[in-house]
A and B are shown apart, each in its own frame.
Chain A
Amino acid sequence: MLRDQFPILQRKVNGHPLVYLDNAATTQKPQVVLDAMNDYYSKSNANVHRAVHTLAGEATEGYESCRNKLKQRYNAERAILTSGTTEAINLVAHAWGRANLTAGDVVVLTEMEHHSDIVPWQMLAEERGVELRYVPVTENFTLDMEAFDYALDGAALVCVVHTSNVLGVRNPLEEIIAKSRVVGARVLVDAAQGLPHATIDFQALGADFMAFSAHKMCGPTGIGALLVTQESFDEMEPFMGGGDMIETVTVDGSTYQTNEHKFEAGTPRIAEAIGWNAALEWMESFDLESEHARLIGIASWVAEQLRGLGIDVYGRHGEQDAAVVSFLHPTINSEDIAHLLDARGFAVRTGHHCAQPLLHRLGISGTVRASFYVYNTRDEAEAFVEEMRTIVEKFA
């Protein structure tokens, strides 16, 4: 059984079996990922690329295997390994943005973005005088596409989240990308929440950049990637300088690598890349599409049950949305709910989920968020609803 491959799911929390429902923050790791990282440090630990000894060769092969796997799985010309989604987006802002955007250029964002897809652009706007336009979110929890059409006029770059980490809503990327193409705007997709739930063909989707993290798809923390088209890759200037990204260095200046290493200065995250590769291979052992259908079924059932308890649920839980249930009780404080749940072994998240502009638009300051992933069961969802019923009956 898939669930049995996760050692952490065997543990108890506060005397109760762990029911882990904080998957939109980070997912748990299967044994194969733990083994791969342990094996690397136990048998092959060495620095990558330069040395000619056997261990260095094994480490390099392990590290580059992750990149090759990403390119193959998501059909990308270029895959730059980063520390995660945040660094990947910052890389676009620094390496592409600073080389290609000047005062008056327009960057379109949405109110649904995670802070990591807002703050780097605000910093760039401050530095370069770039204009930022935000597409609002409607009361149906979707992007206002009329406003998007209006914002797109003269845009150089569109930054859009694939799937909201608060609402689980999957945005109409195909339409957004097609319209952006018409005006000649580049498109950056924040797929941190999207890729764990769907295998995307990057080139078929037609975006220029796609950022995501390993740890939200059963891989290790500390590593992620930026997929880039060759055309946009060629327009990027180095961001961080240092070892591994250069071709030659003299006292008069340096020349740079021409492949992804150009953007991976310093010793990279070797064990993490090897762990992520193991996670990606592991994800091929089951059908992600049918797992996603099962999870959205669970999330939609949980949302309906919570509404029945008088709880406000944010999101629509459509077929393509992520299995995220954000909610607020009219009288019981969110932090209190999370503490009460934790005392019975349920791990959920509370707060603004690093998406304050979205919450501001919704007129709230935070939610409780239960998010489901491939190892979660219907039994866990039922136990969660029962626990929420107990909390509401006792504390409302």
Chain B
Amino acid sequence: MTYPVSLQDLIEEFQSVEDKRERLEMLFELAEEVVELPQDQWNDNTRVKGCQSEAHVQIIIKEGRIQFLSSADARMVQGLMGILTIALDGLTPAQAVLIPPSFAEEMGLLNTLTPSRSNGFRNMYDKVMAELRQNGAD
């Protein structure tokens, strides 16, 4: 599978770092990439279920391109959202649904996260992809 260039670069960057703490700190920095979903727009439809912390996502399609809005209380989750922002923003839904979830594993993120947290990440990925499909990506 070939990933979008921006995501491929991130994968390689994470792979080059062995220290877990450094990987976490890189993840924390990616929180800056998040386009914030304001709290007054949080609802049951935006909530990522199965996440240990409060996490909300929303997909907006503007002129055929994805805009990914998200918000979470934990910086680590915000970092994961930052990765999805980099991966998805500006793609068409049809392009985005081709991105498999394996990028998280390739980045070594699943080693950084405990099983319950990586399930939370997978739930977030699945929710986003399901919404994209509803938006006619198939």
Contacts and interface: CB of A to CB of B under 8 A. Distances in A.
A14 interface: yes
Contact of A344 (B21, B73, B74, B112): B21
A333 interface: yes
Contacts of B20: 14-15, 342-343
Given A333-B53, A335-B52, A340 B21 contact: yes
A333 B24 contact: no
A194 to B, nearest CB: 29
A339 B52 CA distance: 13
Given A351-B52, A395-B28, A333 B74 contact: yes
Interface string A319-342: 000000000000011011001101
Interface in A239-265: none
A41 B53 CA distance: 42
Contacts, number: 37
A340 B27 CA distance: 11
B54 to A, nearest CB: 9
B8 to A, nearest CB: 25
B63 interface: no
A142 B37 CA distance: 40
B21 A395 contact: no
Given A351-B52, A395-B28, A333 B75 contact: yes
A335 B21 contact: no
A15 B28 CA distance: 21
Interface residues on A, range: 10 to 19
Nearest to A332: B75
Contacts of A340: 21, 24
A335 B75 CA distance: 9
Most chain A CB within a 10 A radius of its CB, from B21, B76, B77: B21
Interface residues of B, number: 15
Given A351-B52, A395-B28, A333 B73 contact: yes
Interface string A14-50: 1100000000000000000000000000000000000
Query: Chain B: interface secondary structure?
Result: helix
Nearest to B19: A15
Interface string A328-365: 00001101100110111000000100000000000000
B106 to A, nearest CB: 20
A351 B73 CA distance: 13
B108 to A, nearest CB: 12
Contacts of B23: 343
Contacts of A344: 21
B80 to A, nearest CB: 12
A336 B29 CA distance: 13
Interface in B7-33: 19-21, 23-24, 28
A335 B19 contact: no
Given A333-B74, A335-B117, A342-B20, 7 more contacts: A15-B19, A333-B75, A335-B53, A336-B75, A336-B76, A339-B76, A340-B24
Interface of A: 14-15, 332-333, 335-336, 339-340, 342-344, 351, 395
16 contacts: A15-B20, A332-B75, A333-B73, A333-B74, A333-B75, A335-B52, A335-B74, A336-B76, A339-B76, A340-B21, A340-B24, A342-B20, A343-B19, A343-B21, A344-B21, A395-B28
